[in-house]
Structure 1
Amino acid sequence: MMEYFHKLYDEHEKAKVRFVGFVTETTRYDFGIVYTNQFFGKPLVVCMQTGRSTLLDSKDLADIEYIQSAFRIQDEQQASDLIEFFKTAIPHIPFEPQYE
């Protein structure tokens, strides 16, 4: 029953999607990256192995603890490896706050 819901948005968009799998010395990774205009232009990154997802931008890549938390990675080297990959896959978008 939709009468109990107040729709905030309902957008349709043709988005660019990239699927990438790669290995480091210790780990295999499989990600889906959805490049969209939604979410302030932050790509939606989905780990295809665990289903964990997050919105990432270039500023998020400076925070190793955020990457560890988002993908539940204990090992700092694994998180560093991911950050190095994401630096090539996540575009730099100047952030402009929507709310002040």
Structure 2
Amino acid sequence: MNLFDKLYDDNENVNARFVGFTTEEARYDFAIVYTNLFFGKPLVVCMQTGRSTLLDPKDITDLNHLQTVFRIDSKEQAEDLAEFFKSAIPNVPFTEQY
């Protein structure tokens, strides 16, 4: 019996960056996984909470998105994260995947 339809099952050697930093309001620890999957968007994982998301430069400018995904209380903290992600997330063109 086939219980599910497999969409993909890929292995890939990826670059991962682990970054910890502080701002005036908080401490952050992130893993950023640079992959060719997911339309070229890096996978960003908060190592403190386990929350993760795919981010591209457009997503970084959406402060509400950052606040929701990482459950950040203040706009100032979201702005701090956006500033960090602008330097950490490459500006790669959209890639066709499917």
TM-score range, shorter chain: over 0.9
Offset of residue 98 of structure 1: 6.1
Offset of residue 93 of structure 1: 1.5
Q: Tell me if the contact between 2:37 and 2:97 (Cα under 8 Å) persists in the aligned partners.
A: no
Is 2:10 aligned against 1:11? yes
- 2:29 match: 30
Is 2:42 aligned against 1:80? no
1:19 to 1:98, Cα distance in 2 relative to 1, 3 A: closer
Report the 3-state secondary structure (helix = DSSP H, G, I; strand = E; otherwise coil) of the residue aligned with 2:81. helix
Q: Which has the higher contact order (CA 8 A, sep 6+)?
A: 2
User: CA offsets per residue over residues 49-100 of structure 1, 9 Å max, x none?
Assistant: 010000000010111101111111111000000000000100102225668x
Inter-partner Cα distance in structure 2 for 1:55 and 1:73: 17
- Give structure 2 stretches of 5+ with no counterpart: none
- 1:48 match: 47
| CA RMSD across the alignment | 1.6
Inter-partner Cα distance in structure 1 for 2:64 and 2:95: 23
Between the two proteins, the alignment pairs up a number of residues equal to 98
Q: Stretches of 4+ moved more than 6 A in 1?
A: none
Inter-partner Cα distance in structure 2 for 1:18 and 1:97: 24
Report the 3-state secondary structure (helix = DSSP H, G, I; strand = E; otherwise coil) of the residue aligned with 2:10. coil
Offset of residue 3 of structure 1: 2.6
Report the 3-state secondary structure (helix = DSSP H, G, I; strand = E; otherwise coil) of the residue aligned with 1:4. coil
- Give structure 1 stretches of 5+ with no counterpart: none
